[in-house]
Amino acid sequence: MSLSGFEASTSLVSPPLTSAVAHPPLRLGILASGSGSNFAAIAQAVEERQLQASIAVLIYNNPDAQVAARAAQIQVPTVLLNHRDYASREALDQDILKTLRSHRVEWVIMAGWMRRVTRILVDAFADRMLNIHPSLLPSFPGMHAVEQALAAGVKITGCTVHQVRLAVDSGPIIAQAAVPVLANDTAASLQARIQVQEHRLYPVAIALAAQQAARLQPVSDLTSE
């Protein structure tokens, strides 16, 4: 298949996307820092019952983040925890954890959360904290992944949903979507096509992660201290 044909077709996804993935109902807490396009994609999947979940709370750290307005439009509770008000990452994560527990959150979804998390959150939500990254991990972890891909001259990149670990972008991979890199791509044009796939992939990956977790153990009571 030519690159032009690949671009026009559905991007390659692993595992393959299906219209619905059976999983237990989920209570989500979403962490976001920016415009909230992935938040909106998850919320739409919930509304359309493609994802059996409710969004219990949105936590955001940037007072100007547009995601707060998106959440308000659909009556999702929002909590601003400005990282600039905290002396350490641990202090911020302690308040995040308190907020998540107060809203009885079972799964934490990082949707453009531009802060490194500490052991406080990783341990509290072991294997129940997900992130999405704009590359096919383990390639191009960290910041500026799209620019890294262009600089490396790869022909295919994409996005990855993975479990969160202390090391950045290092956790077990849940799902990936491949996106071709075109000869005339800029960082902006490639990022835009990757985002399209992020919005398709993330809701299904959340369901897949929940399905996998349900096979291993029941949902623990994360509201307990």
| Residues with a known catalytic role | 133
Residue 15: cis peptide before it, omega within 30 degrees of 0: yes
Q: Are 68 and 75 in contact (CB under 8 A)?
A: no
3-class DSSP state of 60 = strand
Phi, psi of 65 (to 5 degrees): -65, 130
Sheet (strand 156-163) strand order: 13-14, 173-180, 156-163, 129-133, 107-110, 26-32, 53-60, 78-80
Q: Which of 153, 201, 157 is nearest to 179 (CA)?
A: 157
